[in-house]
Amino acid sequence: MRNPALIGILLLPLAVLSPRTAPAQTAPQPIPPTEISADLGTCSALITVTDADSRPIYAAKVATRILPGLLKKPMFIIISNGDRQQTVEFKPELRCHATFDVQLR
C-alpha cells in the first residue's frame, strides 16, 4: 500500500552530453534525462540544471513533495548542488508539460 504523501529526494544526472571521452570523429552521445513518476497523471516537468557558465551539472539533487489529493495545486521543486540551491514552481493547472532551465550560481 502506498503512503498518501510521497516525499522524494533524488540524485539525478541532469545533463545534455555524456562526460565520456569520444573519438575525434564521433560527437558525444546525449544522455537521456532521468525520469521519475508518481503515477498521478500525464503532466510533466523537464528540468535542465547548469552552472553559472551554462555547463551541465551532474548529480544535482532534486526534491519535491507530491500530494495525491491536491493534483492541481502548485508543486515546488528544489534543485541543489553543494551550497547552491534554487526553487521552481510547477503549476500543472496552467502548464501541464513545463520546462525549466535552472542555473545554479
**What residue spans define the domains of the chain?**
6-17+31-103
| Overall pTM surpassing 0.95 (yes/no) | no
The tens-digit pLDDT sequence of the chain (105 residues) is 443 333 333 333 333 333 444 455 677 777 777 787 777 788 889 999 999 999 999 889 999 887 766 556 788 999 999 999 999 999 888 898 999 999 999
Q: In what order do the strands lie in the sheet with 57-66?
A: 6-14, 57-66, 75-81, 84-90
- Nearest CA among 89, 82, 41, 92 for reference residue 60: 82
Q: 89: helix, coil or strand?
A: strand
Q: Which CATH architecture has domain 6-17+31-103?
A: Sandwich (2.60)
3-state secondary structure of 93: coil
